[in-house]
Structure 1
Amino acid sequence: MNAPTDLNIKLTSFSHGGGCGCKIAPGVLAEILKKSSGFPVPKELMVGIETADDAAVYKLNDEQALIATTDFFMPIVDDPYDFGRIAATNAISDVYAMGGTPIMALALVGMPINKLPLDVIGKILQGGESVCAEAGIPIAGGHTIDSVEPIYGLVVMGLVHPSKVKRNADARAGDKFILGKPLGVGILSAALKKDALDASGYAAMIENTTKLNKPGKSLSDLPGVHALTDVTGFGLLGHLLELARGAGLTARLEMPRIPLLPNVQQFAERGFVTGASGRNWAGYGHEVVLADGITPVQQALLTDPQTSGGLLVSCAASAVDEVLALFKREGFVHAAVIGEMVNGPARVEVTA
């Protein structure tokens, strides 16, 4: 059968979920991994699966460690070029989140060949290539399959000095949290699916999700930066909870200080919330303490799955100005201090 030629196709109509909202719910994932058997870990493996970090890190020598990661998902938008850009930006982010420099990518492509025009598939790949070019890396190969739903992403490799690896487990009491991008991508994507998002809202969503987290490379040079991750499918609460668990401390989050994309709160109040938000809360809500006054809408914002979200930095109070200045130089104008790490049980506390 020949591939269709109609270019007026809604990519999101092929997918049961979109972007990082496709992730397996955190509670289900924990149950799956709990049943996996252990295996010998070589001493060169600096970061593996033990803290649910953003990427694996393998020490090559005294000067170099290899970062390896992969990320892929179904369409979060209908424009194929934008979908490719978002997926590639999201995948590369995990290298930056370890403090590394990306060096190469491999494409992961699954497409319903008999349902999608080949031109549409080509535009998805071109979108990914454009972001890799911006990051200064080649797409050196990959793998393709004929699948029921469109799937696109990358395997990404990077390099970092072994002494400058930034894990998600090394936050310290007294650290301040800085978020590099505003929240709300999942909520805007839900509005987009219901044809409720206007051109300016879509533009803000695309700008946010296609902005490479390049500050991660420079953050690795700052001794005051203790822990680093990026906010994706488990929402801000989920990824902050990973930092708290890794450090064995309490992460105190200040709701009024969290930056949001334009009109996100209004969309959430109108019910534009993803199913992944509820699954996230079901998976880790028992480890979160919400202050009186935190509304269901605010809870939805905190659990909203972010596709290609911002870096989340845990740094010494003395390093805050330097970290914020670094973000601003790279064009991350919404970067903000949103809380701190304090002594206490491994959980997140949200203040109103």
Structure 2
Amino acid sequence: MPRIRLTTYAKAAGCAAKACQKDLIHLLDRLPKFANPNLLFGYDAMSDAGVYALDEEWAIVQTVDVLTPIADDPYTFGSIAAANSLSDIYAMGAKPLTALNILSFPPNEIRPVVLREIIRGGSDKVKEASAVILGGHTIRDSEIKYGLAVTGIVKKNEIISNQNAQIGDVLVLTKPIGTGIIATALKQKAAPKRVVDIANKSMRKLNKTASILMKRLKANAATDVTGYGLLGHALNLAKASRVGLAIFAQTVPILPGARQLVQRGFFAGGSIDSFEFVKPYVKFGSNIDEITQKLLCDAQTSGGLLITINQNRVDKFIQLLHQNKIKDAKIIGKVIKEKVIYVN
């Protein structure tokens, strides 16, 4: 297959292309709500996925995520996009069952072999998740975009959402941050290959095992960290749970090279929007420089799970995560009563 740089077909890479939180909230606030006793989590809940009860025991979980290219290699991009789409299912403690492909592309510019590789990357990742692809939809577009609509299943009494963080819980993050910064540098041919390879490996990793373990250890709340950055998604969790958070910046795992790249000025436009949105809700300690603040707001693609768990179970949880090859998992903070986010 001829060499191609998919990121040249994207104005913004990956989840950095998402609408900013402020605009999304403004839009959703003005949409009609659905009154249905089986609707457990709708779009007004600002949760990771929608949940609809099937009967007294089971519910389906549904989500859709579509990305612009965040990797140059088609297969790699497809696998990252699929992992990102599946992540919302895992964040709710659910098991993915089926998926539908969504693919847009400029038809006269992209060869069919490239599109097949994108879909193959997504298909292999769906197989890794023990789910199946039923079909899909294509669209003529000036940009390449790919993702999945995913349906999962969960027992109603095992749903984990962003609404149940308890005061005193410990915050755990399962993947390092920095993918948005690295992707921004990649688009400009400024990211070292080793840095890109490590970021791609992280983004391709499913949150499947972390989801299984958080359920086993009875985590109280969770969300996945994607386009609004660590602080943006932490803010959503805090608001939904009516609590505050204290985040320990020095323990947040960061991808190699990300800090150096943001120091050189690489920072996605979507990340800037998130940075401005969270500022009124966050109190940064005097020791937190602007580089660190930007890292904490960096728009992630296929990021890790941000989980709150009882302090009596967190050591066991971290041990199990590390034993199951989730080596970057770290304790990064705690849940507090005061409704603010402290970063120190």
Q: Does the alignment reach a TM-score above 0.5?
A: yes
Q: Which residue of 2 aligns with 1:79?
A: 73
Residue among 216, 219, 240 paired with 2:211: 216
Residue among 4, 14, 25 paired with 2:9: 14
Note the alpha carbon deviations across 1:157-182, whole angstroms, 9 max, x for none: 11111100001010010010000001
> 2 CA distance for matches of 1:169 and 1:137?
27
Q: Which residue of 1 aligns with 2:26?
A: 31
Q: Deviation of residue 277 (structure 1)?
A: 1.4
3-state SS of 2:44 partner: coil
> 1 CA distance for matches of 2:101 and 2:322?
31
> 2 CA distance for matches of 1:130 and 1:75?
18
Contact 1:101 1:217 in 2 (8 A): no
Q: Which residue of 1 aligns with 2:39?
A: 45
Contact 1:27 1:282 in 2 (8 A): no
Q: Which residue of 1 aligns with 2:135?
A: 141
Q: TM-score, normalised by structure 1?
A: 0.95
Contact 1:327 1:335 in 2 (8 A): yes
3-state SS of 2:274 partner: helix
Give ranges in structure 2 of 5+ residues lacking alignment.
Answer: none
Q: Which residue of 2 aligns with 1:278?
A: 272
User: What amino acid is aligned across from residue 206 of structure 1 in structure 2?
Assistant: N
> 1 CA distance for matches of 2:7 and 2:257?
22
Contact 1:289 1:348 in 2 (8 A): yes
- Taking the TM superposition and a 5 Å limit, the aligned residue runs for 1:1-352 are 7-40=2-35, 42-214=36-208, 215-223=210-218, 225-345=219-339, 347-351=340-344
Contact 1:176 1:320 in 2 (8 A): yes
RMSD of aligned residue pairs (Cα, Å): 1.3
Note the alpha carbon deviations across 1:298-320, whole angstroms, 9 max, x for none: 11101000100001100110110
Contact 1:252 1:340 in 2 (8 A): yes
Q: TM-score, normalised by structure 2?
A: 0.97
Contact 2:12 2:268 in 1 (8 A): no
Alignment length, in residue pairs?
A: 343
Q: Deviation of residue 110 (structure 1)?
A: 1.0
> 1 CA distance for matches of 2:321 and 2:113?
37
3-state SS of 2:300 partner: coil
Contact 1:100 1:158 in 2 (8 A): yes
Contact 2:29 2:44 in 1 (8 A): no
Runs of 4+ in 1 over 6 A off after TM superposition: none
Q: Deviation of residue 221 (structure 1)?
A: 3.3
Contact 1:83 1:124 in 2 (8 A): yes
Q: Deviation of residue 35 (structure 1)?
A: 2.1
Q: Deviation of residue 62 (structure 1)?
A: 2.7
User: What amino acid is aligned across from residue 34 of structure 1 in structure 2?
Assistant: D
Note the alpha carbon deviations across 1:7-55, whole angstroms, 9 max, x for none: 3332111111111101001111112222223332x11111122331110
> 2 CA distance for matches of 1:97 and 1:34?
24
Give ranges in structure 1 of 5+ residues lacking alignment.
Answer: 1-5
